[in-house]
Amino acid sequence: MTTNKTVFITGTSTGLGKLTAKHFAKLGWNVAATMRTPEKETELTAYENIKLFKLDVTKLAEVNAAVDGAIAAFGKIDVVVNNAGMGVYGALELAEEETIDWQFAVNARGPINVIRKFLPHFRANGGGMFINISSFMGVTTAVPLGSLYNMSKFALEGLTEGLYYELKPLNIELRLIEQGGSSGNNFLNNIRWSKDDNITAYDGLMNKVTGMMASRSDEGSLDDPQTIVDAIAAQATGASRQFRTVVGEAGNNLLALRSSVPIEEYLETIAKGYE
Ligand SMILES: NC(=O)c1ccc[n+]([C@@H]2O[C@H](COP(=O)([O-])OP(=O)(O)OC[C@H]3O[C@@H](n4cnc5c(N)ncnc54)[C@H](OP(=O)(O)O)[C@@H]3O)[C@@H](O)[C@H]2O)c1
């Protein structure tokens, strides 16, 4: 199957981004696969319709060069997937100043940088689509010591919803995909943990949270990442026009609970799981 459509994806070195790049390539799309270290990539280079571009979403010069390079290579970009992201976990009190800024810089400011750079191109083309990869942690709280990650993904959600009104008249569409934790990625290994050996007040909670994360992946209870890729592709191809797609049982169960009880009861229910 071939198409003349092109997708631009951030964070394609591993996990969901890499799988999404391969999926679109197999669908016959052109793929601008961006990553911080394209010189290390060996798998995506095998695809004729995938071109690699160097992009750290926190660096404006790299955003400008990657977007300009992709437009020059493919002529027109139809869909942008803001996938690059990482997690900061640990008590807020213990977080380094630089780590707090980094969490916002990658997960919220990064998509802002990419979206702003693409808007003139989308306006000139008479439309386009941004698919922003959020999390169940963007629509509800659920994991203690994840306040900074929550902050960054709530910010991405607010940005995406807020942009709807100014981009709708320009035929520029917005989508949010919320996953609840999937297998086959480096997310857990890449988490930056905030710790201080002199402050033990959060140790008990920390042990429970790390234990929960380890047991979830051991038990194989994480979602199949292909289900998330399918949800992304459904939006890009127009098979679905859902603004927000929550993928997987864990995320859907949490959101069902959140919408069915008062917030105080929700918070207590989650907190009890970590007592
Ligand atoms: N896995 C989960 O449990 C989970 C749950 C909910 C939501 N999410 C979200 O899903 C998205 C994909 O994550 P994943 O699960 O596939 O994890 P992953 O394997 O860790 O992939 C994250 C990707 O983001 C890239 N990245 C990190 N910082 C970047 C930066 N400054 N500039 C450009 N790229 C950067 C990483 O590149 P490097 O290789 O260079 O570090 C990597 O390619 C993220 O937005 C994440 O927040 C994940």
CATH code assigned at 138: 3.40.50.720
Counted domains in the chain: 1
**Pair of tokens at residue 12:** 């394609």
Question: Which amino acid does the sequence have at 10?
Answer: T
| Pocket test residue of 186, 188, 216 for ligand 1, highest count of atoms within 8 A of CB | 186
Structural domain contains residue 79: yes
**Pair of tokens at residue 57:** 């979403």
1 has a pLDDT exceeding 60: no
User: 85: domain range?
Assistant: 6-272
Residue nearest ligand 1's atom 24 by CA:
84
Q: Residues near 198 by Cβ (< 8 Å), separated by ≥ 6?
A: none
Structural domain contains residue 1: no
* Tens of pLDDT, residues 216-256: 877 778 999 999 999 999 999 999 999 999 999 989 999 99
Residue nearest ligand 1's atom 17 by CA:
187
* Tens of pLDDT, residues 33-42: 999 999 999 9
| Pocket test residue of 13, 114, 151, 156 for ligand 1, highest count of atoms within 8 A of CB | 13
Structural domain contains residue 117: yes
Q: What is the distance between the alpha carbons of residues 92 and 193, in angstroms, rounded to a whole number? A: 10
Alpha helices in the chain (DSSP H): 15-26, 60-74, 97-104, 110-125, 147-167, 187-190, 203-218, 225-237, 249-260, 263-272
Structural domain contains residue 104: yes
The catalytic site residues sit at: 134, 149, 153
Report the atom number in ligand 1 closest to the C-alpha of 84: 24
* Tens of pLDDT, residues 162-214: 999 999 999 999 999 999 889 999 999 999 999 999 999 999 999 999 999 99
